[in-house]
Amino acid sequence: MNENQFKQFQLQPVMLNAVEKLKFKKPTEIQEKVIPMILKGKSVIGQSRTGSGKTHAYLLPLLNKMDTTKREVQFVITAPTRELAMQIYDEVRKIITFANKEEEWITKLLVGGTDKQKMMEKLKRPPHIVVGTPGRILDLVSEEALSIYSAKSFVIDEADLMLDLGFINEVDQLLLRSQRDIQLLVFSATIPQRLQQFFKKYLENPEYVKIDDHFSPETMEHLLIAVKHRQEADIIVDISKAINPYLAIIFTNGKKQADELASSLQEKGLEVGIIHGGLTPRERKRVLKDIQNLRYQYVVATDLAARGIDIKGVSHVINAQIPKEEEFYIHRVGRTARAGLEGTAISLYREEDLKLVQKLEEKGLQFTYVDVKNGEWKEAKPWNERHLRTKITTELEKEAWKQVRKKQKVKPGYKKKMKKQQESIKKQLAKKSKYKK
């Protein structure tokens, strides 16, 4: 069956034409579920990781509903960072070009760092589609250079990042200036508690779509290296000798750790770029340009900074610190192995990380314990294996131990005797439980 599977959505011919030119044959899981809902005008909360195809999950059905008889704002698309807004805008432009609608469908990018006066001039004839950061859009709405009251749909992309970067108030202000029954489309990798409160304010009963991440072990490799008493930078330098990445992102759990690790790696001779929320927009732009020009093989990043941008060609993800939540681990490693490409995630772990590793294993991820010395990979045992073996783990052993008579005064060899006693109680308990069954 070679028929394009996007036909099932009954999109207009111009949109199907654009889909063909985008070379999309089969919808991703989030597109499959969300496109029909958006076409019906429903509000949707879509939860899925970066790289799952969510941008086109809302762009295709929205542009399908374009009404060119009205020259007014029909769709507002907000993103937390300039880079992300620019990427979405580029995708909108691409679809418009492929649909041969350059003259008819008008879109504008509204982000900071551009000439506001020029922008206000251009907005005298309102666009159909507005893409931008909430701050700049609100700024222009407040100045009455733009009205979004006519908008039928409002998109909040990377909503959890909006929250973390403090832009949810601007989004709130924009929604107050929109129609009450506007179609709200929210996309997020994680849904923290504070976001749920925000949803309650604006959404009566939205459709909630969560895409559980399926990792196919054959396309994704997860390696674990015990830190023990070593420095992270030393281990990463050793890893760099063992791999030759096209591009590796090295994740840390915060800005301070990112700065420290990047400077340690630079001292050790690695060419590394750095991306975190503390950089000015100009610095970020420069680093991104350097990454695109392949100046760096390694980029040290924090979760939030790396989320707001799309870095192409990532072959390896290295977790200098494992995140505290499983969704963040999934999000990080989702940076590699995008669109079915193979990818490798290498994580440096400490004993306290093993709980998270266990949770991820329950989700179906397969970890391999390794070590690296002088650029050579070696097999390794899990750090806690011996500890686990000697622990009194089974309920039976615990129960037996409770029944062992502990003496106040002890003689040499008392531990052996107690152990013997525990073993015989354990056998009796095992027999009892057998008969009970």
Whether pLDDT at 113 is above 90: no
Task: Using alpha carbons only, give the angle 81, 25, 309 rounded to the nearest 5 degrees.
Answer: 15
Mean pLDDT of 256-285: 86
pLDDT-based confidence at residue 309 (cuts at 50, 70, 90) = low
Whether pLDDT at 216 is above 50: no
What's the pLDDT at 1? 47
φ, ψ (nearest 5 deg) of residue 213:
-80, 125
Which has the minimum average pLDDT: 26-35, 214-223, 282-291?
214-223
Q: Strand 129-132 to strand 107-110: parallel, antiparallel, or no bridges (unpaired)?
A: parallel
The C-alpha atoms of residue 245 and residue 228 are separated, in whole angstroms, by 25
Whether pLDDT at 384 is above 70: no
pTM: 0.66
Mean pLDDT, all residues of the chain: 82
Mean pLDDT of 384-388: 53
Whether pLDDT at 241 is above 80: yes
Q: What is the pLDDT of residues 124-147, one digit of tens each?
A: 889 999 999 999 999 999 999 999
Whether pLDDT at 430 is above 80: no
For residue 191, the one-letter residue type is: I
What's the pLDDT at 276? 80
The C-alpha atoms of residue 43 and residue 223 are separated, in whole angstroms, by 40
Which has the minimum average pLDDT: 62-66, 155-159, 163-167, 238-242?
163-167
Q: What is the pLDDT of residues 1-58, one digit of tens each?
A: 466 788 888 889 999 999 889 888 888 888 999 999 999 999 999 987 666 788 999 9
219 or 179, higher pLDDT: 179
**SS3 (DSSP) at 349:** strand
What's the pLDDT at 80? 86
What's the pLDDT at 218? 43
Q: Which two tokens stand for residue 71?
A: 């020259």
Q: What is the pLDDT of residues 356-374, one digit of tens each?
A: 898 888 877 888 899 988 8
| Segments of 98-240 assigned E as strands | 107-110, 129-132, 153-156, 183-188, 207-210, 220-226
For residue 118, the one-letter residue type is: K
Query: Which residue matches tokens 């400077």?
Result: 263
316 or 364, higher pLDDT: 316
What's the pLDDT at 395? 59
Mean pLDDT of 237-264: 89
Per-residue three-class SS string for 341-365: CCEEEEEEECHHHHHHHHHHHHCCC
Tell me the residue length of the chain. Answer: 437
**SS3 (DSSP) at 320:** coil
What's the pLDDT at 332? 81
Which of these, 209, 154, 204, 206, lies nearest to 176 by C-alpha position?
154
The β-bridge partners of 300 are: 250, 274
The β-bridge partners of 78 are: 132, 156
Which has the minimum average pLDDT: 48-52, 193-197, 296-300?
48-52
Mean pLDDT of 171-184: 91
